[in-house]
């Protein structure tokens, strides 16, 4: 099953201090001048179309440096603002069951795929 891609965004006013600039440069590979522009242009895309684990790590690195950053799912458009999974509401992606979204905190699933093939890693099934 194909997984969604995620986007990391600077979501608000950011400091332009050395730690923030270094974090943006580390996550993006941009020059110092382009990193400064990105921080000044919030909301702004830092990285896009990347797997959840890379996006979550990038968002965490930016937030540690004082940069207000969010991670957004490319399918359901929900955002993760901290170091926890996205809001607890169900994923509204038309492409797969909510429990399969790597950004969800759900650990159980009752979809047909899991009923036939067994649960995904870290999940249990709840079938009636």
Nearest to 114 by CA among 123, 102, 104, 101: 123
Q: What are phi and psi of 33, to 5 degrees?
A: -65, -45
- Confidence category of residue 90, pLDDT binned at 50, 70, 90: low
- Confidence category of residue 95, pLDDT binned at 50, 70, 90: low
Residue 29 is predicted with a pLDDT of 94
Q: Supply angle C-alpha 56, 74, 71, rounded to 5.
A: 25
CB hemisphere CA count around 72 (13 angstroms) = 14
Neighbours of 91 (CB within 10 A): 22
Residue 126 is predicted with a pLDDT of 52
Contact indicator for 8, 59 with CB cutoff of 8 Å = yes
**How high is the mean pLDDT of the chain?**
78
- Confidence category of residue 128, pLDDT binned at 50, 70, 90: very low
Residue 78 is predicted with a pLDDT of 74
Kindly report whether the global pTM for this prediction surpasses the value 0.75. no
Nearest to 41 by CA among 64, 3, 65, 12: 12
Cα(first)–Cα(last) distance of the chain, in Å?
24
């Amino acid at each position: 099953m194909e997984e969604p891609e995620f986007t990391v965004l600077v979501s608000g006013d950011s400091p332009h201090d050395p730690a923030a600039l270094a974090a943006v440069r580390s996550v993006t590979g941009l020059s110092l001048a382009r990193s400064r522009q990105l921080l000044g242009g919030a909301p702004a895309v830092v990285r896009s179309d990347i797997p959840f684990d890379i996006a979550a790590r990038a968002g965490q690195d930016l937030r540690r440096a004082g940069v207000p950053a969010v991670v957004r799912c490319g399918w359901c458009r929900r955002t993760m603002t901290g170091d926890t999974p996205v809001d607890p509401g169900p994923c509204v992606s038309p492409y797969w069951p909510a429990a399969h979204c790597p950004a969800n905190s759900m650990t159980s699933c009752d979809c047909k795929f899991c009923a036939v093939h067994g649960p995904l890693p870290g999940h249990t099934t709840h079938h009636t």
